[in-house]
């Protein structure tokens, strides 16, 4: 190409990320003309060596795209890798609440706190990472791709890995669950029929499933859940997690149900119940219930008749009481008992800490005497006695402070507790919220009892 003054006006601009290059060409004058080879030389002199777009370069000359920037090079974008991941062949979560039917009743067969697997069943497949492909900008500089990361091997118990650590299978029949970053398969104690004297009492570290009824006098204790498909009679149940009674319980004033989880049942009659979680059924008749969360009665004929119901977070029921004005006592909130216990423990801890301070002063004096006299008092009976008292008091303080923390959490949970009745509440019902009481003297419908300035008030239920 002959020399041209316009050649000095050509320019190449590269984007900030280095992935695109643009060429600006002034219109050629009489002194010369452009060629494709020349344009590539111009680009090379500017360091543009990768991703040249031949059609775009040729198009500048063919369409005379002068006095404007034209994209003439595009770098190769990196392709990021994909991290390794696990494909789980189990749900990992269960339905903890019953499904409500169209008629408003609760379907307790829909409650399922156990997901079972069998030995040899694949529970997880590991997909290794896919490594990415590096890119290159228009100047030939590498653009690093994100590398796919390996995931650590699954932690837990009750399963085994394939040699390539990609296939995980159950080693035992049991219940599978996710616990934080662990997968755990635990054994299940399963009774195909009734739990009666031929089966005997059950004390099992894991989950217990009874596919029939539980007869009078039987005791079932489980560190996990207890599920009973039939009806439980005057028996004793104790669980570390949920208790599900699909057929309900006829307690005969001899049954007790205790759990650190929730309780779901078709009905309860004449039963003592304690739960750290919620308690839910269609009917409670002459029961004594203590719940650290809620007591809930579902169904269009759901009712609480007789007994004492205490729930820190409140009570929800279709109806409470009956036409016969059976005495029914309902408690919501922390109650005076919890508040008094909390205040007592706080005073006790303060007094114990004061005594502990005196013990520390006494021990400090022995240490000072050792320094002054150069004599050891390590085995002095008075010092040994002080050490024993200090150990005892520190243990007492730790235990009391742990209880105080639990009680404070209960008090916090009780804030705003209400008693809601969607149908009727009858005379003979005693409503208690915290330390306040109201006696129902007339039938009320669709009402909510709540606390306002230490007085129980009513309003229309939502």
**Which tens digit of pLDDT belongs to each residue from 206-233?**
889 999 999 999 999 999 899 999 999 9
Mention every residue, 6+ apart, whose C-beta is less than 8 A from residue 353: 397
Give a three-class secondary structure readout of the chain.
CCCCHHHHHCEEEECCCCCEEEEECCCCCCCCCCCHHHHHHHHHHCCCCCCECHHHHHHHHHCCCCCCEEEEEECECCECCECCEEEECCCCCCCCCCEECCCCCEEHHHCCCCCEECCCCEEEEEECCECCECEECCCCCEECCCCCCCCCCCEEECEEECCCCCEEEECCCEEEEEECCEEEEECEEEECCCECCCCCCEEECCEEEECCCECCCCEEEECCCEEECCCECCCEEEECCCEEECCCEEEEEEEEEEECCCEEEEEEEEEEEEECCCEEEEEEEEEEEEECCEEEECCCCCEEEEEEEEECCEEEECEECCCCCCCEEEEECCHHHHHHHHHHHHHHHHHHHHHHHHHHHHHHHHHHHHHHHCCCCCCCHHHHHHHHHHHHHHHHHHHHHHHHHHHHHHHHHHCCCEEEEEEEECCCEEEEECCEEEECCCCEEEEEEEEECCEEEEEECC
pLDDT for residue 414:
79
Q: How far apart are alpha carbons 57 and 4 in whole angstroms?
A: 20
Q: How far apart are alpha carbons 218 and 196 in whole angstroms?
A: 7
Q: Are strands 202-204 and 219-222 parallel, antiparallel or unpaired?
A: parallel
pLDDT for residue 34:
87
Average pLDDT, the chain: 89
Q: How far apart are alpha carbons 397 and 255 in whole angstroms?
A: 36
Tokens 């039939």 correspond to 230
Can you say whether residue 238 is alpha, beta or left, with left for phi > 0 and alpha for psi between -120 and 50 degrees? beta
**Which tens digit of pLDDT belongs to each residue from 276-288?**
999 999 999 999 9
pTM value is 0.63
pLDDT for residue 3:
41
pLDDT for residue 7:
60
pLDDT for residue 8:
65
pLDDT for residue 103:
63
pLDDT for residue 94:
57
Q: How far apart are alpha carbons 443 and 439 in whole angstroms?
A: 11
Q: 419 with 375: CB under 8 angstroms?
A: no
**Which tens digit of pLDDT belongs to each residue from 304-325?**
999 999 999 999 999 999 999 9
**Which tens digit of pLDDT belongs to each residue from 52-71?**
999 999 999 999 999 999 99
Q: 328 with 306: CB under 8 angstroms?
A: yes
pLDDT for residue 149:
93
**Which tens digit of pLDDT belongs to each residue from 418-432?**
999 999 999 999 999
**Which tens digit of pLDDT belongs to each residue from 83-121?**
999 999 888 665 556 666 666 666 655 565 568 888 899
**Sign of the C-alpha dihedral computed for residues 240, 242, 245 and 246 taken in this order:** negative
- Confidence check: pLDDT of 188 > 50: yes
pLDDT for residue 2:
43
């Amino acid at each position: 190409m002959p020399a041209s003054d316009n050649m000095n006006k050509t320019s190449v601009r590269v984007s900030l990320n280095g992935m695109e290059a643009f060429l600006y060409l002034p219109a050629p004058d009489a002194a010369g003309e452009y060629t494709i080879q020349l344009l590539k030389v111009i680009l090379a002199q500017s360091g543009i060596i990768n991703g040249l777009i031949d059609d775009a370069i040729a198009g500048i000359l063919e369409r005379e795209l002068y006095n404007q920037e034209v994209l003439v090079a595009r770098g190769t974008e990196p392709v990021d890798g994909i991290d390794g991941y696990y494909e789980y062949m189990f749900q990992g979560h269960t339905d903890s609440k019953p499904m409500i039917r169209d008629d408003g009743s609760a379907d307790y067969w829909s409650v399922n706190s156990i997901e079972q697997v069998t030995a040899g069943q694949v529970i997880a497949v590991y997909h290794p990472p896919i490594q990415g492909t590096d890119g290159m900008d228009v100047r030939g500089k590498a653009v690093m791709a994100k590398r796919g990361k390996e995931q650590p091997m699954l932690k837990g118990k009750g399963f085994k890995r394939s040699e390539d650590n990609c296939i995980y299978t159950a080693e035992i029949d049991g219940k599978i669950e996710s616990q934080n970053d662990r997968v755990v398969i635990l054994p299940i104690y399963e009774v195909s029929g009734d739990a009666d004297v031929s089966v005997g009492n059950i004390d099992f570290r894991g989950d217990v499933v009874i596919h029939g009824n539980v007869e009078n006098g039987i005791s079932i204790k489980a560190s996990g859940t207890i599920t009973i498909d039939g009806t439980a009679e005057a028996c004793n149940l104790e669980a570390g997690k949920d208790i599900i009674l699909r057929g309900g319980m006829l307690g005969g004033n001899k049954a007790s149900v205790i759990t650190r989880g929730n309780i779901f049942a078709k009905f309860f009659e004449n039963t003592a119940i304690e739960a750290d979680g919620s308690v839910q059924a269609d009917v409670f008749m002459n029961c004594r219930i203590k719940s650290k969360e809620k007591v809930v009665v579902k169904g269009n004929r759901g009712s609480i008749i007789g007994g004492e119901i205490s729930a820190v977070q409140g009570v929800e029921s279709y109806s409470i009481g009956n036409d016969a004005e059976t005495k029914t006592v309902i408690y919501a909130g922390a109650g005076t008992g919890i508040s008094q216990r909390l205040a007592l423990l706080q005073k006790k801890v303060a007094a114990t800490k004061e005594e502990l301070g005196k013990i520390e002063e006494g021990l400090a004096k022995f240490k000072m005497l050792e320094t002054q006299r150069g004599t050891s008092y390590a085995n002095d009976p008075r010092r040994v006695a002080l050490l024993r008292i200090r150990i005892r008091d520190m243990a007492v303080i730790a235990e009391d402070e742990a209880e105080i923390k639990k009680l404070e959490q209960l008090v916090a949970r009780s804030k705003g507790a209400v008693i809601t009745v969607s149908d009727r509440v009858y005379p003979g019902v005693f409503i208690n919220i915290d330390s306040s009481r109201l006696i129902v003297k007339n039938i009320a419908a669709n009402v909510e009892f709540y606390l306002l300035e230490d007085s129980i008030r009513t309003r229309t239920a939502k």
